[in-house]
Amino acid sequence: MFEDRPDREEVVLVGRSNVGKSTIMRALTGHSKITTGRKPGVTRSPNHFDWVAEKFMFTDLPGFGFMSGVEKQRREQIKTDVVRYIEDNADDILAGVLVVDGKAAVDIIDRHSGPDEVPHDVELFEFLWDLDIPTIVAVNKMDKVDDRDDRLDALCDRLGLYPPWQQWRETIAPISAKRGDIGALDEALGATFTDQKRDDLLKFVS
């Protein structure tokens, strides 16, 4: 179980391992010392980034799903801890950002869909919505995607959102974090903060 959470409102980043959550965290905060790595599972406990004068933070939660070299029991424990963290702190979570790999997400979801299986990404998206946490899907690595609109429409379809994706701009945010292109995520977070009458937080996404 994750310990020592600062007493602040937050935006949480969740998603599979190796989809670029820590890179997005660096782009959002401008903080270059956040650890990223080629090896999945670099983030093993919540990585909080806060500001001394603010009661607000971004939190990068550990990645879940398959991780090379990490046994199944440990992977399941990480997922359980992530879910419990979100449940326990839902009242202080201003937004949940589900990060997916734009090129691979639809294929991964399809591969893990079946009569007895709900893909992790779909499950987490629905879980955040069920907790009434405003949810944004940051579709990362879009610079590697050729069929952009088709791919985003297919992702919407898998998440239970009616295509075209363009009508979900406050929910679907296509980005390329490694290139510093996170404007769509900034806009979606800004709209969420405005909806919550938290214009004091807009400085963090502008």
CATH number for the domain that contains residue 164? 3.40.50.300
pLDDT of residue 42: 45
Mean pLDDT of 155-176: 96
3-state secondary structure of 14: strand
Distance from the Cα of residue 88 to its chain's centroid? 18
Query: CA angle at residue 18 from 101 to 7, to 5 degrees?
Result: 100
Q: Which domain holds residue 108?
A: 9-205
Query: CA angle at residue 138 from 133 to 142, to 5 degrees?
Result: 170
Mean pLDDT of 92-115: 93
3-state DSSP percent of the chain in helix, strand and coil, to 5 = 45, 20, 40
The pTM (predicted TM-score) of the whole model is 0.90
Q: Is residue 3 part of a domain?
A: no
Q: Is residue 162 part of a domain?
A: yes
Q: Is residue 50 part of a domain?
A: yes
Q: Does residue 117 carry a pLDDT above 90?
A: no
Q: Is residue 1 part of a domain?
A: no
- In angstroms, what CA-CA distances link 133 with 6, 20, 146? 19, 21, 32
Q: Is residue 41 part of a domain?
A: yes
Domains in the chain, number: 1
Measured distance CA(56)–CA(59) in Å, rounded: 10
pLDDT of residue 38: 45
Q: Is residue 33 part of a domain?
A: yes
pLDDT of residue 33: 56
% pLDDT > 70, the chain: 89
Q: Is residue 4 part of a domain?
A: no
Q: Is residue 190 part of a domain?
A: yes
pLDDT of residue 177: 95
